[in-house]
Structure 1
Amino acid sequence: FEPEAARLAAQRAEREDLEEMQEVIEKMSESVKTGELPNSFDLKFHKLIARAARNPILEMLSESMLEVASQVITGLHPSTDVLKHVVKRHREVFEAVRDHNPDLAFAVMSRHIIDVRNRLARQKGRQPKLRSNKR
């Protein structure tokens, strides 16, 4: 559902949404630089995307699913490399939303989700099962 939320956000986001997203990305980037785990900022970014989609069902799904995902990811203790990559992907999603490019927003969010899963799997020494689906 997150790629679709990103697609809708690219069509519907307002200036205030974009300002909040940009601020959260900057805070997340600073957090990674100082060695802190930026999960609250990661979670907030995904929630902002869902809110900007202006779809109550997606927002509700996002709220419940992201809380669980955040707890799981925290337990995996992502490496600095993974966290830097997350910040990079968040910037790419943000730029697609800001530029009102729904197809790019969908594609980048799809890659982001698969990339994080694969990077965390490699970090834990498991073979990833998902591949990036270029759309």
Structure 2
Amino acid sequence: MPSPAVRDPLDAFDPDLVSSVAAETGGSADALRSLLRRHQESVRDLPGVDDLVYEWRRALDDAVVVRTPELFCCAVRPVVWSEFADALGLDGEERERLVAVHDRQARRITRAEGASERAFGGRAAVVLTRE
């Protein structure tokens, strides 16, 4: 029996949105895609997408804003992005670009799914492609 195909880590991100955020923040689209891939793969490697989201759900009410078979769209404490940035060795500009693309993509997904963007009030958006 063949094993199920693993989704590309960037499947949850609209390529045009990534290019737009890169242009608006003074970076290249290729560099931002590479950064997104590093972030997604780091979550997959340790502890895993489902395990991380499970922990967020235990720690935060309403951490999961949208859940589909393809992705999780979460609203988390902003400190999570500091932890991601430290783990990935990001400078300030890289972190800002990564946060911006996650925020824009999360809001787009939230609107498309008919969910409320109010969950992001005071919280940071994180989009994770499911494995």
Structure number having the greater helix percentage: 1
Structure number having the greater strand percentage: 2
